Amino acid sequence: MFILVNGLIAGLGLAAFLALGDGLFDTQTFPVLIDVSYVPGMENLPSIVELLIHLLISVIIAFFLMHFYPRDRGAGSFKYLGFWMLGFAVAFLPFSLLSNTPMTWLAFLIWVLGHLMYTVMLAIQVGRYR
C-alpha cells in the first residue's frame, strides 16, 4: 500500500509539474508523458485513460525504485538515484519522437526537473519508511 500511494502521489506531482511547465513556457512535455498512441491497439484513447496508464507505470517504477533502494544513506544512494535520473533523461528522446512532439532544450529541462522532483519525492519517502 505504501508503494501504491507514493507512486500515485509522485506520478500526479510529475504530471502536474509538466502540465504547469507546458502552460508557462509553451512546451509539449505533458503530452510526451501520457501519449500512448504509438502502442498498437491504444490509438485514440481519451486523455484520462492515458493519464491512468501513466499513473500505473509510475506505481511500477516506484516499486522498483523503492525495492532496490540501497540500505546505506551515503554515496551509494546518490549514485543509485543518479542512474534513475539518467534513465528518465534519456527516455525523453524516444518518447518525444514516438509522440511526434517538438524537442527543445527548454522542454528537455522541464522534463528533467520534473523527473528530478519525482525521484526526490520517492527517495524522501523511502528514507522516512526505513
pLDDT value for 1: 85
CA 56 to centroid of chain Cα atoms:
11
| Whole-number average pLDDT of the chain | 90
Average pLDDT over residues 69-98: 88
Determine the Cα–Cα distance for residues 113 and 111; give it in Å rounded to an integer: 6
Q: Is the pLDDT of residue 48 over 90?
A: yes
Average pLDDT over residues 27-51: 89
Q: Is the pLDDT of residue 57 over 90?
A: yes
Sequence-distant (≥ 6) Cβ neighbours of residue 122 within 8 angstroms: 6, 7, 10, 62, 65, 66
Do residues 93 and 86 make contact, with C-beta atoms less than 8 angstroms apart? no
pLDDT value for 129: 75
How many separate helices (H) and strands (E) can be counted in the chain? 5, 0
Average pLDDT over residues 59-82: 86
Average pLDDT over residues 77-93: 91
Determine the Cα–Cα distance for residues 110 and 94; give it in Å rounded to an integer: 16
Question: Which of 116, 128, 66, 129 has its CA nearest to residue 89?
Answer: 116
Question: Phi/psi zone of residue 41: left (φ > 0), alpha (ψ -120 to 50 degrees), beta?
Answer: left
pLDDT value for 17: 96
Local confidence band at 15 (pLDDT 50, 70, 90 cut-offs): very high
Q: Is the pLDDT of residue 108 over 80?
A: yes
pLDDT value for 56: 94
